[in-house]
Amino acid sequence: MEDPRISPVKPRLGREIILFLLPLQGHVTPMLQLANILYSRGFSITIVHTHFNSPKSSNYPHFNFQPIPDGLLEGQASTVDFVALLVLMNVTCVVPFRDCLSKLLSDASKDRIPCCLITDPVWHFTQAVADELNFPRMVLRTSSISSFLAFCALPLMQEKGYLPIQDSRLEEAVPELPPLKVKDLHVINSKDPEDVLRLIIAMAETMWASSGLIFNSFEELEPTKLAECRRGFPVPIFTVGPIHKLSAASSGSLFPQDRSCISWLDKQERPKSVLYVSFGSLSIVSEAQFLEIAWGLANSGQHFLWVVRPGSVRGSEWLEVLPSGFLEGLDGRGYIVKWAPQHGVLAHPAVGGFLTHNGWNSTLEAICEGVPMMCMPFHGDQRVNARYVNNEWRVGLHLEYKVERKEIEDAIRKLMASDEGEEMREKIKALKRKADESLQDGGSSCQSLQKLTEYLVSF
Ligand code: UDP
């Protein structure tokens, strides 16, 4: 049965949008949410996806799903080196994707008129395919605008000598990208560092050639960066975020969610007393870092709900590294799950802080629920997001890349039980209000979404 929240508010337009999922959680979720929003605006939706990390189509009975082979050999389908995986898939998916898109276009009828392809910019090869088939392609960039621009500036950062990063320059400000410091520049470890730069250049070039950019952000959050982006990219730009607040609740989760943590939160006596801890779908920590985090949490004396994804501790399956008696010693103050229903957790009244890796979805979700953050970014755009959370929006503490138990313990106490933490809570509530307003009638994201709808119909 269809979820009543996603029943179309408009009659079908006969027009179809084709969306191609990038098979990583942080990219799948906002793309499916955008698809839901466009469906509610009267478009038919076709989702093209790879076999690797394929979405649960039964959660979206109103969409047409088109799986394509991804050409990955055994052992290649791993996100441990996700840059290498994405570089490879930009090659192996070309033919299956072209075949799929050209069939969708040739099967068009008066009830199903494909009008635009929307892809993640990481799928840079799709621009050439769209050009060849004379079909418009738009891009949904699932990061913040600020981190996207910092990403595009990497070749310049290399030219100026900031990269590769030298230990002696870590604390230096980067005047070209305020408020970033050298240590915040995008670093993504991959077996071939040149792959990262090549991928970025290909993404940026094909975004220039696209028919438009869509961001999961809102104008009031990043006004100067949005203006800068408009100056830099000669295509229409739409900011329609926070997307998850507009989309129906269908789950795009690639992992099974353990809802028992919601019951555990229900049992907490004091509001805002629990620290939620999660590092997203890709981060991997060493055993030593994992133990520092564990002891920091335990020694803080605060209650916590911790997501430990299986495989996220290098060399371990799950929790084997924890010393025996660790969990019992917490005396009910801590609860650990493999994957949580994060929206529900952040919205829960018992949750008062978020120790996060600052993936963009997690950062936006925290803003939307007014939960202040403790930033422990690992790589890529997370470092930029964390710096903005801490220096620009002032709604979180930054651990400054120190994964040490004492630092973690002190920061938790500061966030959960000090005046400074309370100030951040007030600031993030104000930011939440701005996010809410942007989505209301006449708000910036609401207007941008209206313009996007008109633009899509115009193709
Ligand atoms: N998430 C979730 N349950 C968890 C941890 C994460 O549902 O236990 C979701 C979270 O709500 C977010 C996404 O996974 O939408 C992670 O995306 P993000 O951009 O924050 O980080 P990434 O996984 O891409 O590093």
Q: Please indicate, yes or no, whether residues 62 and 165 belong to a single structural domain of this protein.
A: yes
- Cβ–ligand 1 contact at 29 (below 6 Å): yes
- Cβ–ligand 1 contact at 119 (below 6 Å): no
**pLDDT at res. 418:** 97
Q: Please indicate, yes or no, whether residues 383 and 453 belong to a single structural domain of this protein.
A: no
93-113: per-residue pLDDT in tens? 999 999 999 999 999 998 899
Chain-centre distance for alpha carbon 383: 13
Q: Which atom of ligand 1 is nearest to the CA of 244?
A: 15
- Cβ–ligand 1 contact at 278 (below 6 Å): yes
| Domain count for the chain | 2
Tell me which residue has its CA closest to atom 17 in ligand 1.
26
Q: Please indicate, yes or no, whether residues 167 and 105 belong to a single structural domain of this protein.
A: yes
Q: Please indicate, yes or no, whether residues 302 and 414 belong to a single structural domain of this protein.
A: yes
- Cβ–ligand 1 contact at 385 (below 6 Å): no
- On whether residue 120 sits in a domain, the answer given is yes
- On whether residue 194 sits in a domain, the answer given is yes
- On whether residue 156 sits in a domain, the answer given is yes
Q: What is the Å distance from ligand 1's center to 15 Cα? A: 31
* Residue 74 pLDDT grade (very low, low, confident, very high; cuts 50, 70, 90): confident
Q: Per-residue pLDDT averaged across 158-168, rounded?
A: 91
- On whether residue 63 sits in a domain, the answer given is yes
CATH code of the domain covering residue 392: 3.40.50.2000
**pLDDT at res. 110:** 87
Q: Please indicate, yes or no, whether residues 277 and 232 belong to a single structural domain of this protein.
A: no
Q: Is the pLDDT of residue 37 over 70?
A: yes
- On whether residue 162 sits in a domain, the answer given is yes
Q: What rounded mean pLDDT belongs to the chain? A: 93
- Cβ–ligand 1 contact at 344 (below 6 Å): no
- Print the domain residue range for 270: 260-435
Q: What is the Å distance from ligand 1's center to 455 Cα? A: 30
* Residue 13 pLDDT grade (very low, low, confident, very high; cuts 50, 70, 90): confident
Give, for ligand 1, the residue of 34, 305, 338, 342 to mutate: max count of ligand atoms closer than 8 Å to Cβ. 342
- On whether residue 56 sits in a domain, the answer given is yes
Q: Is the pLDDT of residue 6 over 70?
A: no
**pLDDT at res. 3:** 43
Q: What is the Å distance from ligand 1's center to 259 Cα? A: 15
Q: Please indicate, yes or no, whether residues 171 and 85 belong to a single structural domain of this protein.
A: yes
Q: Please indicate, yes or no, whether residues 335 and 217 belong to a single structural domain of this protein.
A: no
- On whether residue 410 sits in a domain, the answer given is yes
**pLDDT at res. 11:** 56
Q: Please indicate, yes or no, whether residues 168 and 294 belong to a single structural domain of this protein.
A: no
pTM flag (> 0.85): yes
Q: Please indicate, yes or no, whether residues 368 and 426 belong to a single structural domain of this protein.
A: yes
Q: Please indicate, yes or no, whether residues 164 and 184 belong to a single structural domain of this protein.
A: yes
- Cβ–ligand 1 contact at 26 (below 6 Å): yes
Q: Please indicate, yes or no, whether residues 374 and 447 belong to a single structural domain of this protein.
A: no
- Cβ–ligand 1 contact at 312 (below 6 Å): no
Q: Please indicate, yes or no, whether residues 341 and 445 belong to a single structural domain of this protein.
A: no
Q: Is the pLDDT of residue 415 over 50?
A: yes
- Cβ–ligand 1 contact at 53 (below 6 Å): no
- Cβ–ligand 1 contact at 377 (below 6 Å): no
Q: Which atom of ligand 1 is nearest to the CA of 30?
A: 15
Q: Which atom of ligand 1 is nearest to the CA of 280?
A: 23
- Cβ–ligand 1 contact at 360 (below 6 Å): yes
- On whether residue 247 sits in a domain, the answer given is yes
